[in-house]
Amino acid sequence: MSPDKLDPYRSKRDAARTPEPVPEPGPLPTGHDDTFVIQEHHARRLHWDLRLERDGVLVSWAVPKGLPLDPKTNHLAVHTEDHPLEYATFEGEIAKGEYGGGLMLIWDRGTYETEKWTDREVKVVLHGSRAAGRYVLFPTNGKNWMIHRMDPAPEDALPPASELRPMLAEERKRLPRDQEAYGFEFDLGGTRALAVLGDGRARFVGADGAALSLEDHPGLEGLGKSIWGLPAVLDGQIAEIGGASIYMIFDVLRLNTGDLLGRSYQDRRRTLDHLSLRGPHWQPTPWFPGDGKSVLKVAKEQGIPAVLAKRLDSPYLPGVRSPFWARVSLKPAG
C-alpha cells in the first residue's frame, strides 16, 4: 500500500484543536495542478508559505523573506510537509502551543504554469495579483531550498510611497459606546510621519508628503535595517521622549511589496506587532482592543494629550479623515 502524502501533515495536527483543514485518509482529490497560494504566517517568526498544487496536494515551502523580486538575490525556502488542497483558502488563528501556532493570512492566490518539476528543480510561472513572474526552486541541503526569480524585476505597480498621506481621525468629545469594536492607543503627540524602508535605509515623509530631514531626529536612520531588510511603509509619530526622538509606530501600510491598506486595523496591528520593531529610537505604540476606559484613565493620570479609538475592522484610507478613527483630546492632569 502506497503511503498517504498527507500522513506527515496529519501527524502534526489535532483536528479537534486546530481550525486548519485536516481531511480523513483516503483518495486524494484531482485538480489541474495550476493553483498556488502564498500565506503570511505569524508563527514564532513571521514568514511566508508558498504552496503549489501538485498531484492532489499543496507542495509547500516556508520562505522567511518572501519571494525575491530581484533576480540577483536568492531567498531561503525551507521545504515543509505537503498540505491538503483545502489549505489554499485557509485563513485563521492556529492555537498557541499547536504546530505552527499563530495567525495565518492569505497573501496572494492565483494560478501557475509548470515549466519543469523534478526532485532537483521546480520551475514555475506565477500569475497572482502580488506575486507574478518566473521562479525556480532548487534544493541545497536537507530541507533547505532556495528560490530564485528568473525574469527581470517588475516595475513597482504600487503608487510611490511619497504619494501616500496619513489616515486621519475625527475629533470626538468622548469614547465610542461600542468599545468592544475598537482598539485604543495613546496619542503622545509629535510629528506625524510615514517611514519608507528599503535597501537598508529609512526615509520619512510628513503629513503633507514632503520629505522630513533626520538632522533634527538623530538615530532614526537605523530603522531602515530592521525587519530583516524587508521593504515596508509604516505610519507613526516622531515624539520627544526623555530628550530623545522616538518614532512611535502604530500602523503598517506596505510590507514586502504587498499593499496592506485593505486589511483590517486589527490584522495590520497584529502584523506590526509580529515585526518586533523595537530599537533605541523606535517602538510600536501599545494598543488595547476593547479597553478604552482603562486607556483613558491612564492617559489622564499620565498627562497624555489624547486617546485614539480605531475600529478593529477599519481599512486604511490614505488622506481621509474617517469616522473609523476617533481622537479624544484630554486636558493635562492636575
Residues 137 and 253 in one domain: no
**Residue 1, pLDDT score:** 42
Domain count, the chain: 2
**Residue 156, pLDDT score:** 60
Query: Is the pLDDT reported for residue 226 higher than 50?
Result: yes
Query: Is the pLDDT reported for residue 69 higher than 60?
Result: yes
**Rounded-to-10 torsion of CA 189, 190, 194, 198:** -120
Average pLDDT, the chain: 92
What is the average per-residue pLDDT within 316-321?
95
Q: Is residue 156 part of a domain?
A: no
Would residue 8 be called left, alpha or beta, if left means φ above 0 and alpha means ψ between -120 and 50 degrees? alpha
**pLDDT (tens digit per residue) in 254-311:** 998 788 999 999 999 999 998 889 999 999 999 999 999 999 999 999 999 999 999 9
Q: Is residue 1 part of a domain?
A: no
Q: Is residue 194 part of a domain?
A: yes
Q: Is residue 154 part of a domain?
A: no
User: pLDDT: is 288 or 28 the higher one?
Assistant: 288
Residues 113 and 173 in one domain: no
- Predicted TM-score of the model (pTM): 0.85
Q: Which residues contact 243 (CB under 8 A, 6 or more apart)?
A: none
Residues 131 and 179 in one domain: no
> Which cell is 228 given?
530583516
**Residue 333, pLDDT score:** 45
In whole angstroms, what is the distance from residue 237 CA to residue 187 CA? 9
Q: Is residue 277 part of a domain?
A: yes
In whole angstroms, what is the distance from residue 317 CA to residue 267 CA? 15
> Which cell is 92 given?
485563521
Q: Which residues contact 4 (CB under 8 A, 6 or more apart)?
A: 25
User: pLDDT: is 208 or 127 the higher one?
Assistant: 127
**pLDDT (tens digit per residue) in 98-109:** 999 999 999 999
Residue that finishes a domain, picked among 116, 149, 182: 149
Q: What is the dihedral sign for C-alpha 189, 192, 196, 202?
A: negative
Residue 315: give the domain boundaries: 161-329
Query: Is the pLDDT reported for residue 251 higher than 90?
Result: yes
Q: Is residue 307 part of a domain?
A: yes
* Under 8 Å between Cβ of 123 and 58: no
In whole angstroms, what is the distance from residue 209 CA to residue 238 CA? 15
Percent of the chain with pLDDT over 90: 74
Residues 132 and 174 in one domain: no
Residue 237: helix, strand or coil by DSSP? Answer: strand
Name which of 302, 297, 270, 278 is nearest 189 in CA terms. Answer: 302
186, amino acid identity = F
Residue 298: helix, strand or coil by DSSP? Answer: helix
User: pLDDT: is 114 or 30 the higher one?
Assistant: 114
Residues 106 and 12 in one domain: yes
Residue 268: helix, strand or coil by DSSP? Answer: helix
Res. 224 pLDDT band, cuts 50 70 90? confident
**pLDDT (tens digit per residue) in 201-216:** 899 999 988 889 888 8
Residues 143 and 270 in one domain: no
Name which of 103, 59, 104, 105 is nearest 85 in CA terms. Answer: 59
**Residue 165, pLDDT score:** 93
Residues 238 and 313 in one domain: yes
Q: Is residue 155 part of a domain?
A: no
Q: DSSP assignment, residue 290?
A: T
User: pLDDT: is 68 or 155 the higher one?
Assistant: 68
**Residue 332, pLDDT score:** 56
**pLDDT (tens digit per residue) in 236-245:** 999 998 889 9
∠ Cα 93 97 99 (to 5°): 75
**pLDDT (tens digit per residue) in 77-125:** 999 999 999 999 999 999 999 999 999 999 999 999 999 999 999 999 9
> Which cell is 182 given?
475598537
Residues 293 and 167 in one domain: yes
